[in-house]
Amino acid sequence: MAKSIKIRAKIKGDETTVKCLMTHPMETGLRKDKKTGELIPAHFINEVVAESGGKTVMTSNWSGGVSKNPYLSFAFTGGAKGDEVKISWTDNQGGSDSGTAKIS
Amino acid sequence: MIMNIKRRVFLRGSLAAGTLGVAASAGLLTPQTVIAAWNEKAFKAKSIDDALTAAMGEASNTASDAIKIKAPDIAENGAVVPVSVSSDLAGVESIALLAEGNASPLVATFMLGEGAVADVSTRIKMGKTSDVIAVVKSGGKLHSARKSVKVTIGGCGG
Amino acid sequence: MKITKLTVAAICALSASVVMADKKAADTTPAEDLKLYRDYFSKRFPGIPLNEYGNGVYAIDKVSRDSWEAIEEFPPYEPMIEAGEGMWNKPFANGKTYGSCFGDDPAQRQHFPYWDAKRKMVVTLPLAINECRVNNGEKPLKYKKGAIADLLAYMSYQSRGQKISVEVPDDPDALQAYNEGKSFYFARRGQLNFSCASCHMQSAGMHVRTDILSPELGHTSGWPVYRSKWGELGTLHRRFDGCNKQVRAKPFNAQGKEYRNLEFFLSHMNNGIEYNGPSARK
């Protein structure tokens, strides 16, 4: 199970709403370390891929302008209760994680 | 480690221009399998027009009231501003979310796959009071809406 | 740092109901203080139910409340609650757990802070957590953020719905600690020469630059807090520290006597309000 993604997937009628909360520093690369005065290197999720029913439902690309510990919500039709939703992220430093949840 | 980071970004950029582009135009890749390479040009663009041109192919857009932006009138902390964009335009392919006052205005793009509904939310950083702009690509054209968000520099809490 | 006479003239400018500040701390009992305190806020913000004060500034400001509700709908502190749960469940090196100290029940908020008559001191939950650790051979945790905040997030989450009920026993030492907390609250400090009351009682609901000052009533209910500003969780004493620095006063030690006594006073003033931590704030 993902260490850094929490997913809630709920279906109402034909529409599934997926909400996710990710744990990530989302550093823009523009912030200075208060103690050293050095710029903290950019470290942010730059891509999130959402899959369900064997298809990519949505791909989202981000800059460091998305908030720390980012939240994402999206919706799609054609899903069903019990289907799995998979969320995967990659960041600009080559890090990645993915997680799944069942639509309820 | 640092060399790897640079190389990875470089590779993604070249994939978008090279291999993937060729494969896509040859009809070898279906929309579901195209990986959206990170669009550095769009995300580092300093103006709305440059960002839109790089992200969506053009900058010209028409204001539409079929796009709703939900964002606070006053953001109590610019580090975490909840924003939602929804649209009932037909056949929305993608949505771009921009903060006009940010040094690099493009914050996020959403490529909608099969079955995706034009309804997305996230939380963004806003450096100063400005408009949040949502640009929606539908029917091959760009439609937009904007909402003014005041970003407060606090007295004590912020 | 000892205040022999409360400098309250400016605070009283607002209304006669701030009587509690206009006397020496020992002149009014905790019960009388509580009534004066409540009367003050109910006149100041008519129609706000007591429990709503647990939501801080969002009880009195609609604009910020909307975006706060959007954040609380899937709050950034959720992963920290899970991390705290992991801590609660993980045995110490000696095989015991936090449960061994807390009757196997993480929902401890309603029991703190309390007056320890034997040791003649106010005991807060973070203090008790570290005492549990040290008694079981573990190093104490830092008090303002980090692991302790995660554990507090879990324990507070489990405690949601419990009501704040802090008793000030009829004991001269307990009353003294309470009165020290009360004096602290009303004492002006720092280059800006503000007391807690200057902002959170006298000026509650008013702006300081672009911030709306939250009413002090309800201030202890929602901890630990994920502040957007911190981008992480922090404890109540972390905020005391920050507030003191913001009026350019020297802060006191987290979980030192001054802040524990202040917490004792404030918690008693908040009796009846539900614990609703952890919570998100700006």
Number of domains in chain B: 2
* A84-91 and A96-102 strand pairing: antiparallel
Q: Does A69 reach chain C within 8 Å, measured CB to CB?
A: yes
CB-based contact C229 B76, cutoff 8 Å: no
Per-residue tokens: C225:
């807090």
Same domain, C83 and C220: no
Phi, psi of A96 (to 5 degrees): -160, 165
State the angle between helix axes of C147-159 and C78-89 in degrees (0 to 180), rounded to the nearest 10.
100
Residue of A14, A39, A63 best to disrupt the B interface, most CBs of B under 10 A? A63
Q: Is a pLDDT exceeding 90 seen at residue C7?
A: no
Length, in residues, of chain B:
158
Interface test with A, best of C74, C78, C82 (most A CBs within 10 A): C74
Could you tell me the CATH number of the domain that includes residue C250?
A: 1.10.760.10
Show Cβ contacts of residue C212 under 8 Å, excluding neighbours closer than 6 positions.
Answer: C57, C60, C61, C64, C205, C206
pLDDT score of A8: 98
> How high is the pLDDT of residue B36?
54
Locate the domains of chain A by residue range. 5-102
| d(C-alpha C98, C-alpha C128), whole Å | 10
Domain presence at residue C3? no
What SS3 state is found at B140?
coil
pLDDT per residue as tens digits for the range C40-95: 999 999 999 999 999 999 999 999 999 999 999 999 999 999 999 999 999 999 99
Is the same domain home to B80 and B119? yes
Q: Are residues C182 and C129 in the same domain?
A: no
In a domain, B33, yes or no: yes
Could you tell me if residue C282 is inside a domain? no
Q: Does B27 share its domain with B86?
A: no
Mutate to test the interface with C, among A18, A23, A28, A69 (most CBs of C within 10 A): A69
Identify the pLDDT of residue C26: 73
Identify the H or E element spanning C44.
helix C30-44
Count other C-beta atoms under 10 Å from residue B94's C-beta.
Answer: 22
Of all residues in chain B, what percent carry a pLDDT higher than 70? 74
Q: pLDDT at residue A56 above 50?
A: yes
| Same-domain check for residues B61 and B139 | yes
Q: What is the spatial distance between Cα C264 and Cα C260, in angstroms, rounded to a whole number?
A: 6
Looking at residue B109, its amino acid is: T
Q: How many CB atoms lie within 10 A of CB A92?
A: 23
CA-based angle A16:A19:A23, to the nearest 5? Answer: 155
Question: Is the domain of B111 the same as that of B57?
Answer: yes
Would the CB atoms of C228 and B155 count as touching at under 8 Å?
A: no
Same domain? C49 vs C148: no
Active site residue C243: yes
Q: Are C126 and C234 in contact (CB under 8 A)?
A: no
Let me know if residue B34 belongs to a domain. yes
Least confident of B31-35, B146-150, C55-59, C229-233: B31-35
- Tell me if residue C194 falls in helix, strand or coil: strand
Q: Same domain for B92 and B75?
A: yes
**Beta-carbon separation of C229 and B82 below 8 A:** no
Same domain? For C175 and C237 the reply is yes
Choose the closest CB to A58 out of B103, B107, B112.
B112
Is A32 in CB contact (< 8 Å) with chain C? no
Question: Are C52 and C59 within 8 A, CB to CB?
Answer: yes
- How far lies A28's CA from each of A48, C211, C224, in Å? 17, 26, 27
Q: Which residues in C lie closer than 8 A to residue B72 (C-beta atoms)?
A: 63-64, 66-67
Overall number of domains in chain C: 2
**pLDDT average, residue stretch A67-89:** 97
Neighbours of chain B (3+ CB pairs under 8 A): A, C
Give yes or no: residues C233 and C97 share one domain.
no
Residue B144 lies in a domain: yes
Return the number of other C-beta atoms located less than 10 Å from residue C38's C-beta.
17
In this structure, is residue B104 part of a structural domain? yes
* Range(s) of the domain holding residue B18: 1-38
Which residues of chain A make contact with C278, given a CB cutoff of 8 A? none
φ, ψ of residue B102 to 5 degrees: the values are -80, 150
What count of other Cβ atoms lies within 10 Å of the Cβ of residue A36? 8
Name the band, by pLDDT with cuts 50, 70 and 90, for residue C208: confident
- Asked if residue B107 and residue B140 are part of one domain, the reply reads yes
Q: What pLDDT does residue B19 have?
A: 44
Q: CA–CA separation, C184 vs B36, rounded Å?
A: 58
Say if the Cβ atoms of A4 and C79 lie within 8 Å. Answer: yes
pLDDT band at B153 (very low <50, low <70, confident <90, very high): confident
The pair of three-digit structure tokens given for residue C223, joined into one six-digit string: 């901890």
Return d(Cα C210, Cα C249) in angstroms, integer.
21
Tell me how far apart the alpha carbons of residues A103 and B121 are, in angstroms, rounded to a whole number: 19
What homologous superfamily does CATH list for A5-102?
Answer: Immunoglobulins (2.60.40.10)
Residue C8, beta-bridge partner list? none
| C 88-117 residues inside an 8 A Cβ radius of B | none
Indicate whether B158 belongs to any domain. Answer: no
Cα–Cα distance for residue pair B143/B145, rounded to 1 Å: 7
The predicted pLDDT at position C17 comes to 39
| Chain B residues close to A92, C-beta within 8 Å | 5, 9, 38
Q: Please indicate, yes or no, if residue C4 is contained in any of the structural domains.
A: no
Q: Indicate the residue among C159, C174, C203 that finishes a domain.
A: C159
Q: The domain containing residue C84 runs over which residues? A: 78-159
Q: What is the pLDDT of residue C22?
A: 53
> How many CA atoms within 13 Å lie on the side-chain side of C99?
12
Q: Which of C234, C77, C263, C237 is nearest to C154 (CA)?
A: C77
The pTM of the full predicted model, rounded to 2 decimals, is: 0.88
Residue B157 pLDDT level (bands cut at 50, 70, 90) = low
Q: What is the mean pLDDT of residues C225-229?
A: 96
Interface test with C, best of A40, A71, A97 (most C CBs within 10 A): A71
Residue among B39, B158, B153, B145 at smallest CA distance from B83 = B145
- Of the residues C139, C159, C179, the one at which a domain ends: C159
Whether C192 and chain B come into contact, CB under 8 Å, resolves to no
pLDDT band at B34 (very low <50, low <70, confident <90, very high): very low
Candidate from B72, B155, B158 with C-beta closest to C63: B72
Would the CA dihedral through B51, B53, B56, B58 be positive or negative?
positive
| Pair (C83, C19) in one structural domain | no
Residues of A in contact with B104 (CB under 8 A): 63, 65
Q: DSSP E strands: which ranges in B23-115?
A: 62-63, 67-70, 74-75, 81-87, 92-99, 106-112
Amino acid at A84: E
CB contact under 8 A, B156 and C282: no
Distance, CA of A81 to CA of B137 (rounded, Å): 30
Domain contains C281: no
Average pLDDT over residues B77-91: 96
Q: Which amino acid is located at B87 in the chain?
A: S
- DSSP code, position C21: G
pLDDT tens for C112-167 read 999 999 999 999 999 999 999 999 999 999 999 999 999 999 999 999 999 999 99
Distances from the Cα of A94 to the Cα of A43, A44, C217, angstroms: 9, 10, 47
Beta-carbon separation of B154 and C67 below 8 A: no
Give me C73's structure tokens: 């709908």
Pairing of strands B106-112, B92-99: antiparallel
Catalytic residue among C12, C132, C199, C243: C243
User: Which amino acid is residue B4, in one-letter code?
Assistant: N
- Whether B56 and B27 map to the same domain: the answer is no
Backbone φ, ψ for residue B86 (5° rounding): -140, 155
Cβ(A97)–Cβ(A3) under 8 Å?
Answer: yes
Same-domain status, C68 and C84: no
Q: Which of B133, B152, B156, B154 is nearest to B64 (CA)?
A: B133
Q: Is the predicted pLDDT of residue B33 greater than 80, yes or no?
A: no
Residues B49 and B32 in one domain: no
Residues of A within 8 A of C71 (CB-CB) are 71
Q: CA of C150, closest CA in chain B: separation in Å?
A: 21
Residues B31 and B56 in one domain: no
Compute the mean pLDDT over every residue in chain C, rounded to the nearest whole number. 92
Shortest Cα–Cα distance, B62 to chain A (Å):
23
pLDDT on residue C273: 98
* Chain A residues lying within 8 Å of B99, measured CB to CB: 65
In angstroms, the separation between the Cα of residue B110 and the nearest Cα of chain A is 4
C224 pLDDT band (50/70/90 cuts)?
A: very high
Domain membership of residue B156 (yes or no) is no
* B70 and B6 inside one domain: no
Count of C-beta atoms within a 10 Å radius of residue B57: 10
Query: What ipTM describes this predicted complex?
Result: 0.96
> Where residue B116 sits, what CATH number does that domain have?
2.60.40.2470
